[in-house]
Structure 1
Amino acid sequence: MEHVMRVSETLKSFRETRLAALRPPSEFFDYQRISRPADFNQVTQRITYNTRYYSGNYVLIIALLAVYALITNPLLIIALGFLVGGFTAINRFAPEPVQMGEHTITQKHLYAALFVIGLPLLYIASPVSTFFWLVGASGVVILGHAAIVEPGIESEYAAVEDTV
């Protein structure tokens, strides 16, 4: 029950902090504000401002890309489900050693069997390449958007507020 409360509080704080910063799609996809930056200095300024201003939208993009990466790699879902389900099952159903014939099976034996099966399965599912794909795809989408969208009028006031 305590875990449910903790997850509930985490989701509530996430919603209050990140999702409150979501900008409407009409503002995020405003094609009239798209322009080619004049130089690298302007690219840097745009990326700096837009990553803060659209942070909620960018977190949503990363989450959607992560879901896409998991959907397109079903073996990774199976491997993660096997490992997480195995840990949960061992902790819930086998807290005490079990006697089977002449052998005593402890949690240590069950964890070893879980790792012997689960880690090669996880290796075959290539989570590292999925992670790097997620980092690369997110970087291209987010930095590309942040570099080509001109900051609004409010960005001028943000610069004034930072100096005060």
Structure 2
Amino acid sequence: MDAVLRVTEVFKSIRETKFSGIRSPGEFFDYHRISRPADVNQAISRISYNTRYFSGNYGLIIAVLAVYAVITNYLLLISLAFLVFGFAAINKFAPEATQFGEHTITQKHLYTGLFVIGIPLLWISSPIGTFFWLVGASGVLILGHACILEPGVESEYATIQENV
């Protein structure tokens, strides 16, 4: 029960810190502010401002893409579930050594068996490829959005506030 409270507190703190800066969909998808940057300097300036301004929205995009990547890669989902639930089951149901005939099975033996099966299963499910897909897909979406969206009027005042 204590672990459940800690998990809910962690999610609450993430929501308060990371997702408190989520801008409204109307502002994030404002098609009136879409334009091609004139040069590379303007593109870099837009990316710099928009990644700070829409950081909550971009974090949400990365989270949604990560969930999508794990759900569509069934073998990765199964191997992660196997490792997580196996670890939890060993901690809950086998805290002490168990005697089977002449053999004594300890937590160390159970963890070894879990990792001997789980790590190759995880390796076959290509988590590295999934990670690079996530980096590429989120990079293209975020940099593309940040580059083509003109900063709002409030960006003009951001430099004045920093200098004061």
Task: Give the TM-score, by structure 2 length.
Answer: 0.97
Q: 1:12 deviation in Å?
A: 1.4
Q: Residue in 2 aligned with 1:119?
A: 119
Match of 2:93 in 1: 93
After superposition, the C-alpha distances for 1:78-112 in whole angstroms (9 at most, x for unaligned) are: 00000011111111111111110111111111111
Q: Which amino acid aligns with 2:151?
A: P
Partner of 1:51: 51
What does residue 63 of structure 2 align with?
A: 63
Runs of 4+ residues deviating >3 angstroms: none
Provide the secondary structure at the position in 2 that maps to 1:35.
coil
Alignment of 1:11-160 (within 5 A): 11-160=11-160
Consecutive unaligned residues of structure 1, counting only runs of 5 or more, are none
Q: CA deviation at 1:5?
A: 2.2
| Separation (CA, whole Å) in 2 of partners of 1:118 and 1:19 | 33
Q: CA deviation at 1:30?
A: 0.8
Task: Give per-residue Cα distances to partners, 1:104-127, cap 9 Å, x unaligned.
Answer: 111111111111110110011011
**Structure 1 counterpart SS, 2:99:** strand
Q: Deviations over 1:133-160 (max 9, x none)?
A: 1011111100110010000000000111
TM-score (norm 1): 0.97
Amino-acid identity (%): 70
Does the residue aligned with 1:99 lie in a helix, a strand or coil?
Answer: strand
Separation in structure 1 between the aligned mates of residue 6 and residue 112 of structure 2, nearest angstrom: 29
Q: State how many pairs are aligned.
A: 164
RMSD: 0.9
Q: How far apart are the structure 2 equivalents of 1:22 and 1:49? A: 15
